[in-house]
């Protein structure tokens, strides 16, 4: 199992479970889920490598969480997952990738992000 530590924050339980299962199926075991930004903030002492913030939390809350996470530890990477409000972009992505589910774009995005994080972390370990 990969040694990345990921916090996943989503107010929608279905999406939260879907994303968590997708990440763990990639071999990343250390995924902690939160249904509120408040719970995420209270657990930042664990210093995750990556925080994924769902668009289900709302734009203003995501910006506030981003600011607070970065002020707590600027080394924590934060990714804002695209949501339905990005419909025009999502339709283009669906057309290009032939995805059918409204979640496919987010799952593909998560795969890309976690893959890059693994590569960077492996490089850092080898350089040390």
Query: First and final CA of the chain: distance in angstroms?
Result: 21
Query: Mean of the pLDDT values across residues 86-112?
Result: 58
Q: Which two tokens stand for residue 20?
A: 């968590």
Higher pLDDT, 79 or 99: 79
The Cα 47–Cα 6 span in angstroms is 9
pLDDT tens figures, 45-59: 999 999 998 877 777
Mean predicted confidence (pLDDT) in 115-119 = 72
Write the pLDDT tens digit of every residue in 70-90: 999 988 988 887 665 555 555
Task: Give the residue numbers spanning the domain of 18.
Answer: 1-127
Q: For the chain, give the mean pLDDT.
A: 78
User: What is the domain count for the chain?
Assistant: 1
Q: How far apart are CA 110 and CA 64, in angstroms?
A: 22
* Structure confidence at residue 1 (pLDDT): 45
Cα 108 to Cα 61: distance, rounded to the nearest angstrom: 24
Ramachandran category for residue 37: left, alpha or beta (phi over 0 → left; psi -120 to 50 → alpha): alpha
d(Cα 112, Cα 45) in Å, to the nearest integer? 26
CATH number of the domain enclosing 52 = 3.40.50.2300
For residue 123, pLDDT over 70 is answered with no
């Amino acid at each position: 199992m990969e040694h990345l530590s990921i916090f996943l924050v989503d107010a929608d339980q279905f999406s939260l479970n879907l994303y968590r299962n997708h990440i763990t199926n990639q071999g990343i075991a250390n995924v902690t889920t939160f249904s509120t930004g408040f719970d995420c903030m209270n657990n930042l002492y664990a210093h995750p490598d990556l925080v994924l913030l769902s668009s289900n939390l709302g734009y203003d809350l995501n910006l506030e969480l981003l600011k607070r996470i970065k002020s707590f530890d600027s080394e924590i990477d934060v990714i804002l997952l695209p949501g339905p409000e990005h419909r025009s972009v999502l339709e283009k992505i669906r057309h290009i990738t032939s995805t059918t589910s409204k979640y496919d774009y987010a799952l593909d995005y998560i795969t890309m992000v976690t893959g890059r994080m693994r590569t960077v972390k492996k490089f850092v370990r080898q350089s040390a």
